[in-house]
Structures are given as structure tokens and as C-alpha cells.
Structure 1
Amino acid sequence: LPTLPQVPDGPYSRAPFVHKSSSQHDRTSAIGDMTYERLEFLGDAYLEVIATRLIFSRYPHLAAGRQAQIRERLVKNDTLTHFSMAYRFQDRLKAGEGERELAKASGKILADVFEAYVAAVILSDPVDGFKRAEIWLTELWAPILLREFGPISADGGATFNEYNQNAKQELQQKIVGKDVKLEYVESRPMEQTKHMQRYYISLFLTGWGYEKQLLGSGEGQNKVEAGNRAAMDAMVKNKDIIDEAARKLSALREQRRMEAAAKESNSGAEP
């Protein structure tokens, strides 16, 4: 986990962790009475900008729609909540009578708190704040990008993970034979995000000595894309299993070809 950038003591160091229920709301005080609800509005915009800059520079060859998908993955509430919990932000929250409300909506609130902290880092340091936040967030997001969207090449482009609309068909031809089945199953309900729908598909193999073996998973704007990305994921993350199955299928086909040739030869030799 990257080192958390510190915010100097003052209103911006406290505000990301102050709920309005514990604050004496004063519309005339823009900073002294700051809460995370105010800061998260700005932090949300900073996160979008920083994520866009990162994706545009590291994955310049991807279509704009695909870049938007990656950005959505980086800035969605689940991701930000995970970061908040990793830094134990929940232990720093201050609430008054609204404490029960915090417990009920902890996921969304922790995402808001993370956005507020990003804004606090930037606002508290007008000279270097944005740069510090960008470096920190890039380090935080790097494992997600590497794990889900492919390693980054020296020239700034991903070394793989260009969308392959024929991935399911190619995998089918490569390893599926008699009594072998590939199952594409929705792993979670469709999500409607700010920008688009998201579908989630997991791919399982039955056959070649495996029973419902998870090969890969994918997500996309529709089920077809999610399924193809699951197949792409399988061919990278479980290449050993795929190669083993392909060798077995090839050997089986060769055996059948030889048996058919021998049968034809024998029938031709009969008087």
C-alpha cells in the first residue's frame, strides 16, 4: 500500500473525516466548517481528471469507450471504499447523531471520504498538491491496471488486452471436443454506472480432467463483450490449462485421423 500523503494540520486535515451531523453548519464559513460532503464534490472531479490522464497516457491505443470503462473501474465506489478501508479511514470518522446513518451506508460514505481526502491533499498544498495526489493515486491504481487490463509496455501501451471479438470462438476451437464444455455464467448482477451498463461473466471448464474449473472472468458493456473478455482472461491467466487441453485435443484428433486412415486402408485391401 503506498504511503498516504499527509495533509498539514488545519481545516483540510480534519474535514475529510467530519460528518455534517457533528458540525455546526454555517453557510458563511466555507473552510472552518468544512465536512467531507463538501470536499467529496471536488475530490470526485479530481479523481476523474487524474484517472483520465493516467489512462490516456498509458493506454493511448485503446478506443475512447474502452478508456471510459477502465476509468469507471478505477473511480467506482467499490474501489474507493476498498482504499478507504485499507487506510483505516473508518476509524477516523467523526459523527454526531448521524452515527447510525454512517453505519448503514458505510460503503458509500467511505467512498465519499476517500474523494474528500484527495481534495484535501490538493487544496492544502497549492504548489505540489495535485502532483502528490497524482503520484499516490497512480501507485494505488497500478495493481488494478496490471491485473485487469494488462501490463504496460515501454512505449506506454498495454502489451495485450486489445479487445478480441472472436475470443470465445477461438477458445472453443482450441480446446473443446467430445464431453468437453465451456460455460459462461453471469458472476454478478448487471450494474448501471454513471456512464454505462456493466455485465460480469465467469468462464468454467468441464472436461480434460476438470470439473467446473474457473478459467477466467470478464466484464463489458454487454454480455457478448463480457464473455469474450472472460475468454481472453482465461487464455492469459490459465494458459497452462488451456495449452494442456489443446495438446490433449490435438492428440485425440490425430489418433482419430490415424484410426480412420487405417480403417480406410484395411477396407481397400479387402478382396
Structure 2
Amino acid sequence: MTNKRNVKSKYPTVPLPSEVRKKFEDLQKRLDIQFKDVSLLYNAFTHSSYVNEHRRKNFTDNERLEFLGDAVLELGVSRFLYATEPNMSEGELTKLRAAIVCEPSLVKFSNELHFGEFILLGKGEEQTGGRLRPALLADVFEAYIGALFLDQGMEPVTRFLEKVVFPKIGDGAFSHVMDYKSRLQEIVQQTNSGSLNYEIVEEKGPAHAKKFVTVVRLENRELGTGVGRSKKEAEQEAARQAIQELKGNEAEGEN
């Protein structure tokens, strides 16, 4: 954890009651990220309705941080996908990135971190359920990333994404976006290599957290194995592995 420093803020300061500041101290401890300029953290969670009800000249909402965080998040996810998905085309990478940074995904990330509990809202917005609004939760997640980037740079942002976002990509949470089964079928049809067969070879784990292991074969040749929380997810992962296997063989044949 970065040591806390007394830094004079370059950014508009949000005057907060001591109990609210304590909540943000607890949040920093939970995330193991200590802001050098804590006013950036406060501003990341400040909704425009709060500013409108507390008119101060040195006071601003999180919209500019959201703008910055959107770009930083896209860069972080792009770097990760570029490094971990060498067989994806530009179009495929773009499609997968769009699914990761879309509003429903950001809302899930925000909810998992309980960010909604920390948003500074005006009374009217609070009474109409603003704390649960998807757009608001997504904006706060992006604003937090923007604040962290300004406070500490890209590498701490990357470490944060490694904990919150990237594991879900590896776990196949976005596999539905990339229809690997259809892509694999197209490849096989183009080469007239035979017929594909998917087989569940194992079911493991308790009933409430079961995982399926699926093997995909081309005729009698095993091409890939996938693990997923559903049969469909396991099949998609097996197809993804199979595509990588076929592309790897193609590359070897060209050498």
C-alpha cells in the first residue's frame, strides 16, 4: 500500500463530514489503494445532484473524471487483450473490448466493489433511487479509474484491473460475445476436415457452483478442452482452444 502523504490538492475539494471521510478511508483500506490526493477520490464519487445542492466555488462533480476514466479503461483493457489474445483479429478484439467496457459490465464491477454505498448524491436523487441507477454506477466506476490514473499513473490502474476486471475475462464471463463455436465450424467447413463433436467429460464442484469440462473433437482428434460454469460456456471455451490449436498448426506448416 502506498504511504499516505499530505498533498495540497490541485483539484476541487469536496468538503465532507468526518463520518463520510471515514467511509472513504475504509474503502481505501479494503481496496489496498491509498490515494495521495484524497480529494480526487472524493470527486470520483460526487454526483452532479450533490454539487447542485451544495453550491461551492471549489466544488465539482465526477463527470470530467468519468471522461478520463473511460479512455484509461479502454487503454488498460486493450493492452491486456493485445497481450493475452494473440490469435484474435482487430475486429474480434474490438468486439470483446466493447463487451468488457459496456455499461452492464461496468455496473457489475461497481456493484461487486459496493461503490454505490459511497456515491455522494443530492437528496432528490437519493429519494428517487439514484444510488441504484445503472448509468450512475457505471459512471462512478469509470470516474474512480480516472481519479486513480491522475493520482498515481497507469500501473496502479493496471493492478486494480488485474484484481477486478481481467480475471473475469479469463474465466469466460465474456465468452458469449465471441461465438467461438460458430467460428470453429466455419474453419472446419472451409477445409472440409470432417465433423465436430462436443462431449462433457466431467462435472465437478458442489451443486451451487458446478463446473463442466467439455472436449471438442474433429472426427477422432481432440482439439480443445474447456471449463465453464455452464455447458454452453464450457463448449465455447473448448472451441476457443480448438481455434488456437488449428491456427498454431497452420503457422507451423507455413514455416
Q: TM-score by structure 1 length?
A: 0.53
Query: In 2 relative to 1, CA 24–109 (structure 1 residues): closer, same or farther, beyond 3 Å?
Result: closer
Match of 1:8, SS state, is coil
Report Cα offsets for 1:40-99 as digits up to 9, x if no partner.
111111111111111111112210111112211221112211121122111111111322
Distance in structure 2 (CA, Å) of the matches to 1:53 and 1:175: 32
CA contact (8 A) 2:130 2:136 kept: no
CA contact (8 A) 2:62 2:140 kept: yes
Map 1:127-146 to 2 at 5 A: 129-146=153-170
Structure 2: which amino acid aligns with 1:143?
P
What is residue 64 of structure 1 aligned with on the other side? 90
What is residue 145 of structure 2 aligned with on the other side? 118
Distance in structure 2 (CA, Å) of the matches to 1:168 and 1:105: 46
What is residue 11 of structure 1 aligned with on the other side? 39
What is residue 50 of structure 1 aligned with on the other side? 76
User: Post-superposition shift, 1:232?
Assistant: 3.5
In structure 2, list runs of 5 or more residues that go unmatched.
Answer: 1-29, 175-179, 200-229, 242-255
What is residue 232 of structure 2 aligned with on the other side? 216
Report Cα offsets for 1:168-198 as digits up to 9, x if no partner.
989986479xxxxxxxxxxxxxxxxxxxxxx
What is residue 101 of structure 2 aligned with on the other side? 75
- 1:86 aligned onto 2:90: no
Distance in structure 2 (CA, Å) of the matches to 1:171 and 1:82: 41
Percent pairwise identity: 26
Distance in structure 2 (CA, Å) of the matches to 1:231 and 1:174: 10
Query: In 2 relative to 1, CA 171–23 (structure 1 residues): closer, same or farther, beyond 3 Å?
Result: farther
How many pairs are equivalent?
A: 173
RMSD (CA atoms): 3.8
Query: In 2 relative to 1, CA 94–28 (structure 1 residues): closer, same or farther, beyond 3 Å?
Result: closer
- 1:165 aligned onto 2:181: no
User: Post-superposition shift, 1:28?
Assistant: 11
Distance in structure 1 (CA, Å) of the matches to 2:92 and 2:231: 23
